[in-house]
Structure formats: structure tokens, C-alpha cells
Amino acid sequence: MPSPAPSASPDATGEWPGRDLGLPSSGPRSVGRLGRRLLALAIDGVLTDLIAFVFHVWSPAEPSAGINWGLVGIFAGLQVVFLALLSGSFGHVCVGLRVVPTRGGYIGVVRPVVRTVLLSLVIPAVIFDRDQRGLHDRAAGTVLVRR
């Protein structure tokens, strides 16, 4: 009697992002893919701009030369609050993603702070491992998965 087939894998080698973490290759709790991540980041960026515009921190009519620390602060604050309360940023929630600790349990407050500080630096977020976790997720001990 044949054994049940393992969950479908995206490539012929039987490897998929999250396999080493015990995550499925597709469906709920599988690693969030790049398209959803970028869409979530765009949503978070628009929300940040909207809040900054409403509170006069930023105006699209006044271009700035350099980093607008008010925008960075609003973005970081939103990330920490939404991650701690909803296990995902506003954009993550909109596109069906959530951030979970690799060892399970509640995400807490420290993980969102570590993850957000490194995400705000940008470079750690664009360096991925084979599980498609950025350095910001590795340092925080988290992984971005589908809801």
C-alpha cells in the first residue's frame, strides 16, 4: 500500500522555502512569497504617507533632500504596534500574511522592535536565506507566513 504523497513541492528536488522550519510548501503557514510581501510593503508605505500628510509631517508638494525621519518614525511605529497586536503590519493583514516566531508562541514586543529597526535600515530586509527570510526576520527569530 503506497504511503500518502507529501505536500506538493515547487521544484523537482523536493525543496521549498520554509521546509527546514517545518512549514508546508503551500497553503496556510507556508512562507509568504515575494509578490505578497511587496504589495504589503506598498500598502504600508501608502498608509505611512497618508498619516504623515494628515499630521503635516510630509507633503508631496515639498520634495525633501535626504531622509525624512518623520516618515521613518511613523513607518516604524506602525510596524511595531501592528506586529505586536495583530502579528502583522497593516499591509500584511490586508494581503493575508502574518509574522510568527520560528519557535512558536506569541510574538511579544521585543521581536517586532528588533525586526522593525532592521527593516528600517533596508539592507537586512533585502538579503534572504534559502527559506526566504530576510536578515531582519532571522535576527528577530520570526518568519512571514500566509494566514
Q: What is the pLDDT along the chain (147 residues), one digit of tens a residue?
A: 443 444 444 555 778 988 888 888 888 989 999 999 999 999 999 999 999 999 988 777 777 777 888 999 999 999 999 999 999 999 999 999 999 999 888 999 999 999 999 999 999 999 989 888 999 999 999 999 999
Alpha-helical regions (H) of 16-134: 34-54, 69-86, 90-95, 110-120, 123-126
With beta carbons less than 8 A apart as the criterion, state whether 99 and 92 touch.
yes
CB-count burial class (<10 Å; 0-12, 13-18, 19+) for 113: middle
**Residue that has been written with the C-alpha cell 533596508 in this structure:** 122
Contacts (Cβ under 8 Å, ≥6 apart) of 18: 24, 25, 30, 31, 131, 132, 143, 145
Which residues share a beta bridge with 144?
99
